Amino acid sequence: MEESDAQCIKREVLGIGDRRKHHTRKATPLRSHAKEPDTHHRLYRFRFYPTEEQAEQLARTFGACRWVYNEGLALRSNAWKQHQVNVDFAETCRALTGWKQAEETAWLKDVSSTVLQQSLRHLDQAYQRFFKGQAKHPKRKKKGRSRDAAIYVRTGFTWVEDPERPGTGLIKLAKQSQPLDIRWSRALPAGTVPVRLSVTRDRAGRYFVSTLVEERIPPLPAAFVPGSREPKALGVDLGLAALVTLDDGTKLDHPRLLKRYAEKLSRLQRELHRKVRGSKNRGKVRRQIARLYALIKDVRRDMLDKLTTRLVRENQVLVVEDLSVATLMRAARGKGRRRKARLNQAITDAAWGELLRQLRYKCEWYGRTLVIVDRFFPSTRRCSSCRATGPKMDVSVREWTCAQCGAVHDRDVNAAVNLRDEGMRLYWLVATGLPPGKKMPMVIKASELEECLLAA
Ligand SMILES: [Zn+2]
């Protein structure tokens, strides 16, 4: 098909405006300028309390973002299905201009256009992940199912720093007359200007504003094993009996508070199943569950934040297993288990995901290396004393004796030690292959090691 034919189809069939009319409009790139050395993007999240007027305006904004996302999705997938034409981000933006001018969707004008564009950007990112095979085809956003969120780029809000309390100040969103009533639980770095805001409402009805700032975070001095030049390494095993086991034998579990929440959650879930679908009481229980989930998330995030900061500060190299190991293990065991067990499992899974996410960005901030060991590495079955690989073990086995050397192992501690050793093997493999003067990569992933070595 000729390029001009494709353009014609796009314009006429899909109702996208003519490019010539908009040739002056350019899509703003997400990150346009180069960051200074040691600056990192950092998110600070604050709760805020909207006025009635703001809440209404935000409800319209969230709804419009969802609508635009879904409409953009329909446009792109229909163009492909019917005409094998690929509609890109800039073209969906032009379509958006058309929707705003149409009479039946004139309400879109009540919402800042940069916010709506961000919704299309978000869709485009979902498509890019799909094209790369990293994600499934984007799905429609449903009210009450998808999170309410709106992204405001630099032109979508005003920020006035409070001279008496630097790092706090007034944030006013586009199309709103009053600044947000923000609870500044901590200050942003003084003198900073937020790059981007994301305004969300969780299912418990709480409003948050996440401010993305560019912050200079100096790397920490390298951590060595005392009295040597060997980088200090730590193996971290993610498990079911304990959330985290370290190679020195330390075990960390969910705090008691989280366990109590989990119990309450399973009770509410049972209750929900007894209620009639669509009834008022069911809605009430549903909201209670949402609130509890939100609480669990907060407590967990807080706990893991302290933990990961400590681990990253104290060690130079952190070794974890690929998360899919854990998920695979669960898939095999999950069938036919009780509801409560599944629920606890879901909470544990989310904690692992959050833990890895935090380790990853903190390693980058502080100049540490995170090694992600391959999922086929037999961390549990291998004896950390003599390196002999034993037979497969049931998950219920907590302690075992090596048939080769007779060493008695705690299942999880042994796994953590193995992870550390394997991680350091990979670390040195990369370190010795590095040209002089080149810094160690922040993340070494076993499954991408070859690419890592080639790039160096
Ligand atoms: Zn052994």
C-alpha to C-alpha distance for 164 and 142, rounded to whole angstroms: 43
Q: Which of 43-57, 65-79, 319-333 has the lowest mean pLDDT?
A: 319-333
Cβ-based neighbours of 306, under 8 Å, separated by 6 or more: none
Phi-psi label, residue 335: left if phi above 0, alpha if psi -120 to 50, beta otherwise: beta
Q: Which of 91, 124, 148, 237 is catalytic?
A: 237
Which residue ranges make up each domain of the chain? 3-20+36-216, 233-252+303-455
CA 265 to each of CA 130, 255, 262, 346: distance values in angstroms, whole numbers, following the listed order = 34, 15, 5, 12
Average pLDDT on 123-131 reads 94
pLDDT at residue 337, rounded to an integer: 52
Average pLDDT on 64-76 reads 95
> From ligand 1's centre to the CA of 235, what distance in Å?
19
- Which pTM does this prediction carry? 0.78
pLDDT at residue 332, rounded to an integer: 44
Residue 369 has pLDDT above 90, yes or no: yes
Question: Does residue 349 carry a catalytic annotation?
Answer: no
Q: Which residue has the higher pLDDT, 84 or 236?
A: 236
Question: Does residue 237 carry a catalytic annotation?
Answer: yes
Q: Which of 224-233, 312-321, 336-345 has the lowest mean pLDDT?
A: 336-345
CA 320 to each of CA 245, 330, 353: distance values in angstroms, whole numbers, following the listed order = 11, 17, 12
pLDDT at residue 12, rounded to an integer: 65
Average pLDDT on 351-363 reads 90
Q: Which of 321, 364, 421, 422 is catalytic?
A: 321
What secondary structure does DSSP assign to 248-262, as a single string? TS-EE---HHHHHHH
Confidence of residue 262 (pLDDT cuts 50, 70, 90): confident
All residues with CB under 5 Å from ion ligand 1: 383, 385-386, 388, 402, 404-405, 407
CA 51 to each of CA 146, 291, 294, 409: distance values in angstroms, whole numbers, following the listed order = 23, 21, 22, 59
Question: Does residue 321 carry a catalytic annotation?
Answer: yes
Other beta carbons within 10 angstroms of residue 214's beta carbon come to 17
User: Over the Cα atoms of the chain, what is R_g?
Assistant: 26
Residue 38 has pLDDT above 90, yes or no: no
C-alpha to C-alpha distance for 106 and 90, rounded to whole angstroms: 21
pLDDT at residue 9, rounded to an integer: 67
Residue 335 has pLDDT above 50, yes or no: no
> From ligand 1's centre to the CA of 404, what distance in Å?
5
> From ligand 1's centre to the CA of 385, what distance in Å?
5
CA 103 to each of CA 68, 73, 143: distance values in angstroms, whole numbers, following the listed order = 15, 21, 23
Q: β-strand 233-238 against 196-201: which pairing, if any? A: unpaired
Helix residue spans in 315-443 (DSSP H): 323-333, 339-366, 411-433
Average pLDDT on 226-237 reads 93
Residue 245 has pLDDT above 90, yes or no: yes
Q: Which of 71, 148, 412, 421 is catalytic?
A: 412
Q: Which of 10-24, 298-312, 377-391 has the lowest mean pLDDT?
A: 10-24
> From ligand 1's centre to the CA of 389, what distance in Å?
8
Question: Amino acid identity, residue 379?
Answer: S
Residue 327 has pLDDT above 70, yes or no: no
